[in-house]
Amino acid sequence: MSASISHESVIESWIRSALETGGIERFDDLHVDQIDAGWKKRETWMHAGFKALQMAIAIKDRYHLPVDIALAFSLLSSPIPRGIDFKNAAELEKKFDWSPPSLYLLHPDSKPWFRPGADVENDPVTLIVKEISPQQLGILQPFENCYHVEFKPKESSEYLRTLFFMGIRKS
């Protein structure tokens, strides 16, 4: 069995499980190193994340599943908002925190940073969302949307940061 088929079967199993067991509501994720143990290495994270997102979207389209899929890169946190402090893919990779990127299954047209019961106040002080173009970063992947999200959970002294990639541009 080829690695690609094995990767697809892991992703498809995760999607089906999330839909059947309520994982979509719990915001269950699938880290790239759960898809392939070789993807534990930090230097593989960007390529692995993009490949996993493309496979997940292909599976969603193949089965006509009414869901959206996002890829999240966790970035280094900070006691103050940092904003978009990277200009290209190489600088972005230096901002990754300790956690490999992961896929999230979402209800159609929902955004991963708006979750019922989340420990984040929805106001400009504790939640900062900025849309950026992947092409601005020199990321030549066909993703439609990219969002930089900073949020400060209640009772936390730091702003957590995530970069989300979503959707495939239609040619």
User: pLDDT tens, 32-90?
Assistant: 999 999 999 999 999 999 999 999 999 999 999 999 999 999 999 999 999 999 999 99
User: pLDDT tens, 98-134?
Assistant: 999 999 999 998 888 876 555 555 554 578 999 999 9
pLDDT band at 171 (very low <50, low <70, confident <90, very high): very low
Distances (CA, A) of 113 to 27, 61, 106, 149, 170: 10, 23, 11, 8, 24
Task: Kindly report the pTM of this predicted structure.
Answer: 0.90
Phi, psi of 125 (to 5 degrees): -80, -40
DSSP string, the chain: --HHHHHHHHHHHHHHHHHHHTHHHHT-EEEHHHH-GGGGSGGGHHHHHHHHHHHHHHHHHHTT-S-EEEEEEEEEEESS---S--SSHHHHHHTB-SSPPEEEEE-TT--TT--TT-SS--STTTEEEEEE-GGGGT--S-EEEEEEEEE--TT-SSEEEEEEEEEE---
**Which region among 9-23, 74-88, 117-131, 142-156 has the lowest average model confidence (pLDDT)?**
117-131
From the list 36, 40, 54, 29, the residue with the least C-alpha distance to 140 is 54
Phi, psi of 96 (to 5 degrees): -60, 140
Provide the angle, in degrees to the nearest 10, between the axes of the packed helices 45-62 and 3-21.
Answer: 60
From the list 101, 82, 74, the residue with the least C-alpha distance to 159 is 82
- Identity (one letter) of the amino acid at 126? T
What integer pLDDT is reported at residue 40 of this predicted model? 97
What integer pLDDT is reported at residue 124 of this predicted model? 47
